[in-house]
């Protein structure tokens, strides 16, 4: 839910401030985060690679929140399934065709860290356009009404 919360805050800000110098790049990075989550989802549930989106496919800013919500819900449903063990080993092939094995919890951690990496880049784009980025560190999420509502 943290990741979705961040995406919503950034998307709202980008929509409210656009147009600005790097608004397209900001939306592209948000789209990239979502696409990476979809690709990893497909790897975990063993979908054919031809179901993967292009990693840099860009969504219209009007669609980013919906895409993020749908992707987040898929991950939440998987993790909430009582049959799923976070220590389960997932065998997959990366985009270069190399096979790897990682645990589900490692993949989930990767997705959160990957998202934060690109959200930091978005924050730099915003600052370079004299726009103050929202506070999107995890502690801000944990204090938020959104977090508290979803924890109950």
- Domain assignments of the chain as residue spans, ordered by start: 2-151
pLDDT in the model for residue 83: 82
* Structure confidence at residue 150 as a pLDDT band (50, 70, 90): low
Q: Which residues contact 50 (CB under 8 A, 6 or more apart)?
A: none
Lowest model confidence (mean pLDDT) among 13-22, 35-44, 62-71, 140-149: 140-149
Q: Which of the following CATH numbers is that of domain 2-151: 2.60.420.10, 3.40.50.300, 1.20.120.450, 1.10.3720.10?
A: 1.20.120.450
Contact 45, 78 (CB under 8 A): yes
Across residues 13-19, what is the average pLDDT? 96
Average pLDDT in the chain: 93
What is the three-class DSSP state of 26? helix
Q: By 3-state DSSP, what share of the chain in percent is helix, strand and coil, each rounded to 5?
A: 65, 5, 30
pTM here? 0.91
Across residues 134-141, what is the average pLDDT? 94
pLDDT in the model for residue 25: 97
In order of 7, 75, 113, 141, 149, the CA distances from 145 in angstroms are 16, 21, 23, 8, 6
pLDDT in the model for residue 152: 43
What is the three-class DSSP state of 90? strand
- Two tokens, residue 67: 């895409």
| Residues β-bridged to residue 93 | 99
pLDDT of residue 50 exceeding 90, the answer is no
Q: How far apart are CA 138 and CA 136, in angstroms?
A: 6
pLDDT of residue 5 exceeding 90, the answer is yes
């Amino acid at each position: 839910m943290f990741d979705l919360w961040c995406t919503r805050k950034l998307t709202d800000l980008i929509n409210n401030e656009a147009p600005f110098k790097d608004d397209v790049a900001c939306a592209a990075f948000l789209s990239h985060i979502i696409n990476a989550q979809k690709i990893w989802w497909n790897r975990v549930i063993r979908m054919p690679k031809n179901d993967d989106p292009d990693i840099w496919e860009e969504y219209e800013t009007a669609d980013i929140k919906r895409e993020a919500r749908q992707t987040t819900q898929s991950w939440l449903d998987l993790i909430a399934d009582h049959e799923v063990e976070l220590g389960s080993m997932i065998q997959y092939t990366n985009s270069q065709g190399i096979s790897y094995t990682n645990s589900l919890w490692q993949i989930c951690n990767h997705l959160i860290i990957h998202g934060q990496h690109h959200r930091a880049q978005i924050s730099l784009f915003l600052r370079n356009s004299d726009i103050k980025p929202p506070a999107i560190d995890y502690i801000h999420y944990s204090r938020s009404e959104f977090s508290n509502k979803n924890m109950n």
